[in-house]
């Protein structure tokens, strides 16, 4: 069988608790899914175990696999837990303390009296300055002193550094000195990998660029080692298909490229869920979706428009700025395991402390006594007392925890307290949804809400009510949404070049030369990633702002009606770009002023290597009407009270099924809560669609 | 108003919504404004007030109250309409609610149905609003007219329609009208946004619930502040004084004094009348009584950590007594541009009072921020090339942790070197820390900065703003005072010269190097009690010199310099030198106090 004809792909998403594996036959859309417990000490173990089990389940041989796609949290966890490499940093003379000083501010919402600065990833003793200087336009003001540089590098050797970062002033405009330092480091510090800022984040603002570069160096040895282990595991299983990793920007890159620039995996898992939500949205004809992915300790929220996820260049991770392109995911530190507490002044909080898997929510009966969101949902009857075959929950323990810790202190009934806990989480999520929609000038009422993760479908209907969203989509495999995303994306990378050009004085020649050079970099990348010319494509972008502003808006040339492909830029194109910028500024920020001067800040090319995509399969129709499997009393808040609610088994439902709320559908890995007054139905893909009545 | 019926869950949701709204307003200002002051440095504020004009939430913790009352004097609430936006900046009309001219305040009432249910407010520090110097603030100013235009209460947007005649008049008075336009557009957009969000909150929960939640939040903050006082403070009367080095136009120092009477769970009286007469130069701080209360409550709220800084938070602070004609209550047209130096001395004096009332359970003293203003005089005709750079300093050590190194109090950001060099004719050749500047202590005071600028223009005129050269920030409970900063031109060269802390008209030419070294924070606890390993770490990372490790901390390093000589250190530390009194005020404080007493006696 030829590779193209076999068409099986594996998707593996590793989360904190579970490793999810989906095997898909892309053309037919047939899928097989497995969840195995994550093995934190060596995640590649669960990775291999999951693959073995899913191949058994499907009865497919290793030779039929032509692609392996992976969403990873190795880099994320190394940063969050501060368990990365010993990093050394080379910087321009005079800049040794740039990393320590940061932006000479304190965290938002903190007070200088009580704030403690987070420990820096590289202490000053492992930072060396070298004589060299570039100007802001990239020209050399003072040549690199190579002897001094070699000396500085050898001074770092006794510190047993495992990874080197290089960030020199203005290197975003010219990488020449950083590249030379890397060459010198290869002999002065043999075997130590080197990350240079001109490759990681070629954008002005030295603290943010240094931080991104240091973060890359910090996670590099761990990620590189991990990828080697993954490739070895795949080799043992005789899977020869290339291993590709999900990037934070929603695209893929090869495991080899990821080992060099691992920082682009900081949001690998959340990005996969966002792409999965887009895929699901398309099956119901919705290209504008807001996705929520509710897990045990956190909830991720993202907006996608026209089938593209929102991307930010101003994100952060673990209180550090990370300005590489990432899906604009808002993460709330609250999920099913989040603990509800009464603090000083009778204030109720939910999260960020989580009961985790151990001891887990009170209802797990493993010694947890503090009430969690899971306990609240259980007490109200919204989630089942039996989770699969393995886990039965203890309602009495959940009741006691909520009664003691929340209901009594606030003078509420048990149900009111449970509802309050869930309502607070829902409102926190609604605030995050507003942050990615209303704050960016998007009206959430024009979007569909796609619910994923173990807990998304329990909360989605209420979120939709709070935000006026008319439609909720719960995919057939809501609990494994991320793995669907891994099978539905392309190889993708972004190249950006700073070129400041003020209004009225555009140098078209220079702009075209810049695009040509970006185009060359894209071609080189296509070759490195072995992208067939027939599947390669590029999208041109420009960053614009009003003169004196500090932040630019990125406009796609094709959106602006300018030539999107490779034909040379014309005056008319620049005019179209400007017009589009005014429009976009008005939409996002509610004002624009055509009389103010507009400047072009950067040009960019997004290079895409199209991969074969999963086509979701249709669910067979059935003649007979599905009946509720059972019923139970569910609390729906003070106004609606307790209602005897029918419970449906998802496996028994078929396209065409409809129900008037309240109702509950129990899926294998998640629970769908349909509120009173809403109507739900199943479509031909097995999605449950909820029509939300305001 | 009864709060019995309010749902505790709604209170939490409203609290979260207020914060989210403030953040959102701020994001619009940062993303779309044009002054580097606002967009890079973050000198702006957004807030929300309830229907009684009481502040509910602010994104910055020292502004807000008092602005609305000023608007009402001209435009009472019953004269307002949906879609209105009001503008005011005159510090004297505002009675100090805004305390210098470049901070422009915008206010929008939120209508729910036909009634006003709240207000959104924001201000930003504008780049230039006219006056004697570019940037509108000059150490040489001797009256407020030299500090640019003052906008009285005006209705800039009337039911959604911009008052274009007025708008053009104001823009015409700036050296940078485009920037002023960008900034005012950003402010008006932010205030309208706050208005919209507030209305949405009322639509969702109804007037009764939201009003009740607002009231509950005020009460919760009040309760937190009172509890903080009750738990930590020994009732009694305490006094603290500090000095502003000079008023920029004379070399006389100015004394700020505060006397505070605490009762069981509140402050009965804040008496500021003992402070000096108003200054001729621009260091006068026109203090609104509520701003004074906020300076107390911001410290108390920071100790609690769970409540908002709102009007309830300073209900526990009683009468504020001010003396007209004093440096804390100057009379128009006294100049106000550099009031921050007096403001921060006052804020530190409040901490000094708390230190006495809590047996030293407070952070040590912190210095003022430092500002350098560059004017390129060889710019093309019609261009005024100027740059105002804010520089951080070390903060006071805490009873449980070191002071913060290099922070700009007021929580603002620095200009990246790469921004400065792309926009102005200069190079920043060094942006590092000032070793040994942090006051030694069991917990070390934060260190200050060294920032070197190389001039790349033919001629540049520089103005400087650096305080704390006479009286550095104090140490507490055995901790030593921080070390003062200095400004030097061409250090190590034959033409080396020292530049005064408050100077105007300093001429620099191409190739000159200006070095700014800023002050460190005070230390906490006796330095001999600091673990030798932490002293070694500070030496290895450059915060403390090897010599100071020995002389200040009694820690001796071995010959490699990489390890502590345990025996020699134990020997050194056995001669523990006790430190008398609660505070170490540095070398000059007692001399200044004695001079003051002599002058008083002579009168």
Dump pLDDT digits (tens) for A244-275. 999 999 999 999 999 999 999 999 999 999 99
pLDDT of residue B139: 87
The reply to whether A285 and A176 lie within a common domain is no
Q: Which residues of B touch A94 (CB under 8 A)?
A: 428-432, 452
Question: Could you report the predicted ipTM of this complex, rounded to two decimals?
Answer: 0.90
Angle at A20 between CA A16 and CA A22, to 5 degrees: 160
Nearest to B408 among A104, A133, A466 (CB): A104
> How much is the pLDDT for A335?
85
A128: closest chain B residue by CA: B541
Residue B599 pLDDT class (50, 70, 90 cuts): confident
**How many domains are contained in chain A?**
4
Q: Which of A171-185, A607-621, B533-547 has the lowest mean pLDDT?
A: A607-621
**Are A487 and A278 contacting, i.e. CB atoms less than 8 angstroms apart?**
no
Confidence of residue A4 (pLDDT cuts 50, 70, 90): very low
A117 contacts B301? CB cut-off 8 A: no
On whether both A119 and A69 belong to a single domain, the answer is no
Q: How far is B418 from chain A (nearest CA, A)?
A: 6
Residues A16 and A69 occupy one common structural domain: yes
User: Which member of B16, B303, B541 has the closest CB to residue A427?
Assistant: B16
Q: Which of B17, B416, B430 sits opposite A206 (nearest CB)?
A: B416
Confidence class for position B10, pLDDT limits 50, 70, 90: confident
Contact call for B28 and A590, based on CB within 8 A: yes
- With the CA atoms of A560, A563, A566 and A567 taken in that order, what torsion angle do they form, in degrees rounded to the nearest 10? -140
Residues A505 and A448 in one domain: no
Distance in Å, alpha carbon of B333 to nearest chain A alpha carbon: 33
Indicate if A180 and A193 belong to the same structural domain: yes
Give residue-wise pLDDT tens across range B254-304. 999 999 999 999 999 999 999 999 999 999 999 999 999 988 988 888 887
- In this prediction, residue A621 carries a pLDDT of 85
Same domain, A237 and A356: no
Q: Are residue A449 and residue A352 in the same domain, yes or no?
A: yes
Domain endpoint, select from A235, A265, A295 = A265
Confidence band of A587 (pLDDT split at 50, 70, 90): confident
Chain B CB contacts of A500 below 8 Å: 422
Same domain, A258 and A286: no
Q: How far is B86 from chain A (nearest CA, A)?
A: 18
CATH of the domain at A433: 3.30.420
pLDDT band of B449, cuts 50, 70, 90: very high
Q: Is residue A657 part of a domain?
A: no
Q: Do A344 and B182 touch (CB under 8 A)?
A: no
User: Taking all residues of chain A, what is their mean pLDDT, rounded to a whole number?
Assistant: 90
CB contact burial A300-336 (16+ within 10 A = b; e otherwise): bbbbbbeeebbbbbebebeebbbbbbbbbbbbbebbb
Q: Residue A247 is encoded by which pair of tokens?
A: 């990037």
Give the three-state DSSP class for A541. Answer: strand
Nearest chain A residue to B426 by CA distance is A135
CATH value at residue A63: 3.30.420.40
CATH number of the domain bearing residue A172: 3.40.50
Q: For the residues A493-507, what does the mean pLDDT come to?
A: 77
Buried b (16+ CB within 10 A) or exposed e, B111-136: bbeeebbbbbbbbbbbbbbbbbbbbb
Give a yes or no: residue A635 inside a domain.
Answer: no
Residue-number span of the structural domain to which A379 is assigned: 268-486+669-694
Best mutation target among A106, A108, A113, A155 (most B Cβ atoms within 10 Å) is A113
The confidence score (pLDDT) of residue A503 equals 58
Cβ partners under 8 Å of residue A376, min gap 6: A340, A398, A402, A417, A418, A419, A421, A422
pLDDT digits (tens, 9 = 90+) for B472-508: 999 999 999 999 999 999 999 999 999 999 998 999 9
> Among A195-204, A280-289, A308-317, B226-235, whose mean pLDDT is lowest?
A308-317
> How large a percentage of chain A has pLDDT more than 70?
97
Residue B9: band (very low, low, confident or very high) from pLDDT cuts 50, 70, 90? confident
Helix (H) or strand (E) holding A559: none
- Closest Cβ opposite residue A94 in set B223, B416, B452: B452
Same domain, A401 and A476: yes
Q: In what order do the strands lie in the sheet with B449-455?
A: B426-433, B449-455, B513-517, B486-489, B497-499
User: A106 pLDDT exceeds 70?
Assistant: yes
Q: Which residue is closest to A107 within chain B, CA to CA?
A: B411
Q: Which of these three, A574, A590, A609, is where a domain ends? A: A609
Nearest CA in chain A to B35: A548
Same domain, A339 and A423: yes
Residues 6+ apart with CB under 8 A from B182: A546, A548, A549, A593, A596, B32, B33, B34, B35
Give B39's contacts in chain A (Cβ within 8 Å): 549-551
Distances (CA, A) of B387 to B368, B373, B421: 20, 6, 11
Instruction: Find the CB nearest A111 among B13, B179, B298.
Output: B298
**pLDDT tens column, B312-354:** 988 999 999 999 999 999 999 999 999 999 999 999 999 999 9
| A175, two tokens | 């990488």
**SS3 of residue B255 by DSSP:** strand
CA–CA min distance A68, chain B (Å): 40
Which pLDDT score is estimated for B410? 67
Which residue in chain A has the smallest CA separation from B201?
A: A466
User: Residue A2: what pLDDT?
Assistant: 36
Q: Using the 3D structure, point to which of A561, A588, A609 is the last residue of a domain.
A: A609
Q: Chain A partners of B422 at a C-beta cutoff of 8 Å?
A: 136, 204, 500
Q: Tell whether A472 and A394 lie within a shared domain.
A: yes
Q: Kindly determine whether residue B422 and residue A424, on different chains, have CB atoms separated by under 8 Å.
A: no
Same domain assignment for residues A112 and A141: yes
Task: Give the model's pLDDT for residue B378.
Answer: 64
pTM of the model: 0.90
């Amino acid at each position: 069988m030829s590779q193209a004809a076999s068409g099986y792909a594996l998707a593996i998403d590793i989360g904190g608790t579970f490793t999810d594996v989906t095997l898909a036959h892309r053309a037919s859309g047939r899928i097989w899914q497995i969840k195995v417990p994550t093995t934190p000490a060596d995640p590649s173990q669960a990775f291999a175990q999951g693959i073995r089990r899913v191949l058994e389940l499907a009865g497919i041989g290793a030779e039929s696999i032509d692609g392996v796609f992976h969403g990873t949290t190795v880099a994320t966890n190394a940063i969050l837990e501060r368990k990365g490499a010993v990093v050394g940093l080379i910087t321009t003379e005079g800049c040794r303390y740039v990393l320590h000083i940061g932006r000479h501010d304190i965290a938002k919402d903190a007070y200088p009296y009580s704030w403690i600065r987070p420990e820096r990833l590289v202490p000053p003793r492992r930072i060396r300055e070298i004589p060299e200087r570039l100007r802001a336009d990239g020209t050399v003001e003072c040549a690199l002193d190579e002897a001094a540089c070699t000396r500085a590098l050898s001074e770092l050797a006794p510190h047993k550094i495992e990874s080197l970062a290089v960030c020199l002033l203005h290197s975003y405009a010219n990488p020449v000195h950083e590249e030379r330092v890397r060459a010198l480091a290869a002999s002065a510090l043999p075997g130590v990998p080197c990350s240079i800022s001109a490759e990681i984040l070629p954008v002005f603002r030295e603290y943010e660029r240094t931080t991104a570069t240091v973060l890359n160096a910090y996670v590099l040895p761990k990620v590189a080692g991990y990828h080697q282990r993954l490739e070895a595991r795949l080799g043992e299983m005789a899977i020869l298909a290339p291993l590709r990793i999900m990037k934070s920007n929603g695209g893929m890159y090869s495991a080899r490229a990821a080992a060099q620039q691992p920082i682009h995996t900081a949001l690998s898992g959340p990005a996969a869920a966002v792409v999965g939500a887009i895929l699901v949205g398309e099956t119901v004809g919705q290209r504008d979706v807001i996705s929520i992915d509710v897990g045990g300790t956190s909830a991720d929220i993202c907006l996608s428009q026209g089938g593209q996820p929102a991307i930010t260049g101003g994100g952060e991770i673990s209180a550090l700025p990370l300005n590489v392109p990432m899906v604009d995911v808002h993460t709330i530190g609250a999920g099913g395991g989040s603990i509800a507490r009464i603090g000083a002044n009778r204030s109720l909080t939910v999260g960020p402390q989580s009961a985790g898997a151990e001891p887990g929510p009170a209802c797990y009966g493993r010694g947890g006594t503090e009430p969690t969101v899971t306990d609240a949902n259980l007490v109200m009857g919204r989630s089942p007392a039996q989770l699969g075959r393995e886990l039965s929950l203890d309602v009495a323990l959940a009741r006691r925890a909520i009664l003691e810790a929340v209901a009594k202190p606030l003078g509420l009934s048990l149900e009111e307290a449970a509802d309050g806990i869930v309502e607070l989480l829902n409102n926190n999520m609604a605030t995050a949804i507003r942050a990615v929609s209303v704050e960016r000038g998007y009206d959430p009422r024009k979007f569909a809400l796609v619910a994923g993760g173990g807990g998304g479908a329990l909360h989605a209907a209420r979120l939709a009510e709070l935000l006026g969203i008319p439609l909720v989509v719960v995919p057939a495999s809501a609990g494994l949404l991320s793995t669907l995303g891994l099978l539905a994306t392309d190889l993708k990378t972004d190249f950006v070049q700073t070129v400041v050009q003020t209004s009225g004085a555009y140098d078209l020649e220079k702009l075209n030369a810049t695009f040509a050079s970006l185009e060359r970099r894209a071609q080189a990348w296509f070759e490195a990633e072995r992208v067939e010319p027939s599947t390669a494509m590029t999208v041109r972008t420009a960053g614009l702002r009003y003169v004196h502003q500090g932040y630019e808006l990125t406009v796609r040339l094709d959106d602006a009606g300018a030539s999107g492909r490779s034909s040379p830029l014309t005056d008319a194109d620049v005019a179209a770009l400007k017009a589009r910028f005014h429009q976009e500024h008005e939409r996002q920020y509610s004002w624009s002023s055509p009389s103010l001067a507009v400047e072009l800040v950067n040009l960019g090319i997004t290079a895409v290597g199209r991969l074969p995509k999963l086509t979701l399969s249709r669910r067979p129709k059935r003649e007979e009407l599905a009946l509720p499997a059972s019923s139970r009393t569910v609390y729906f808040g003070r106004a609606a009270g307790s209602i005897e609610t029918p419970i449906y088994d998802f496996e028994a439902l078929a396209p065409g099924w409809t129900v008037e709320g309240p109702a509950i559908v129990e899926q294998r890995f998640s629970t769908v809560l349909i509120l009173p007054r809403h109507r739900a139905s199943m479509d031909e893909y097995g999605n449950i669609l909820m029509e939300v009545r305001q | 108003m009864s709060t019995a019926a309010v749902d505790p869950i709604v209170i939490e949701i409203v609290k979260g919504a207020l914060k989210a709204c403030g953040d959102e307003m701020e994001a619009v200002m940062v993303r779309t404004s044009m002054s580097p002051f606002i967009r890079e440095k973050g000198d702006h504020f957004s807030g929300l007030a309830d229907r009684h004009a009481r502040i509910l939430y602010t994104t910055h913790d020292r502004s807000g109250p008092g602005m609305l009352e000023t608007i009402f004097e001209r435009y009472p609430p019953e004269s307002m309409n949906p879609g209105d936006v009001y503008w005011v900046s005159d510090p004297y009309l505002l009675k100090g609610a805004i305390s210098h001219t470049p901070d422009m305040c915008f206010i929008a009432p939120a209508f729910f149905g036909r009634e006003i249910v709240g207000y959104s407010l924001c201000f930003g520090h504008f780049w230039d609003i006219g006056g004697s110097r570019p940037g509108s603030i000059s150490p040489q100013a001797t009256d407020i007219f030299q500090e640019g235009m003052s906008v009285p209460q005006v209705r800039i947007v009337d039911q959604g329609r911009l008052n274009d005649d007025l708008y053009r008049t104001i823009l015409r008075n700036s050296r940078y009208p485009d920037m002023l336009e960008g900034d005012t557009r950003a402010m008006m957009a932010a205030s309208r946004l706050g208005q919209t969000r507030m209305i949405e909150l009322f639509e969702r929960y109804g007037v009764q619930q939201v009003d009740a939640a607002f009231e509950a939040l005020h009460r919760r903050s009040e309760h937190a502040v009172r509890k903080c006082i009750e738990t930590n403070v020994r009732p009694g009367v305490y006094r603290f004084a500090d000095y502003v080095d000079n008023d920029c136009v004379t070399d006389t120092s100015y004394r700020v004094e505060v006397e505070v009477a605490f009762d069981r769970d509140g402050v009965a009286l804040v008496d500021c009348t003992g402070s000096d007469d108003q200054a001729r130069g621009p260091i006068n701080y026109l203090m609104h009584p509520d701003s004074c209360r906020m300076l107390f409550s911001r410290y108390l709220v920071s100790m609690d950590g769970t409540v908002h800084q709102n009007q309830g938070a300073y209900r526990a602070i009683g009468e504020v007594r001010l003396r007209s004609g004093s440096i804390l209550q100057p009379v128009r047209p006294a100049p106000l541009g550099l009031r921050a130096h007096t403001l921060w001395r006052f804020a530190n004096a409040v901490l000094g009072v708390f230190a006495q009332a809590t047996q030293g359970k407070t952070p040590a003293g912190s210095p003022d921020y430092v500002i350098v203003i560059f004017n390129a005089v060889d710019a093309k005709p019609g261009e005024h090339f100027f740059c105002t750079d804010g520089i951080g300093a070390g903060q006071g050590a805490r009873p449980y942790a070191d002071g913060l190194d290099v922070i700009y109090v007021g929580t603002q950001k620095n200009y990246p070197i790469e921004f400065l060099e792309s926009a102005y004719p200069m190079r920043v050749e060094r942006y590092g820390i000032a070793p040994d500047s942090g006051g030694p202590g069991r917990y070390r005071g934060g260190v200050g900065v060294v920032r070197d600028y190389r001039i790349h223009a033919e001629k540049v005129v520089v103005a400087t703003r650096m305080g704390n050269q006479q009286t550095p920030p104090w140490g507490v409970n055995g901790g030593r005072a921080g070390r003062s900063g200095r400004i030097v031109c061409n250090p190590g060269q034959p033409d080396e010269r020292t530049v005064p802390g408050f100077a105007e008209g300093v001429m620099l030419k191409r190739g000159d190097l200006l070095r700014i070294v800023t002050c460190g924070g005070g230390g906490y606890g006796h330095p001999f009690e600091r673990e030798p390993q932490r002293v070694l770490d500070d030496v290895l990372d450059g915060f403390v010199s090897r010599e100071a490790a020995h002389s200040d901390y009694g820690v001796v390093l071995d010959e490699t310099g990489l390890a502590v000589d345990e025996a020699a250190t134990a020997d050194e530390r056995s001669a523990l030198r006790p430190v008398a009194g609660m505070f170490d005020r540095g070398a000059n404080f007692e001399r200044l106090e004695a001079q003051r007493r002599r002058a008083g006696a002579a009168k």
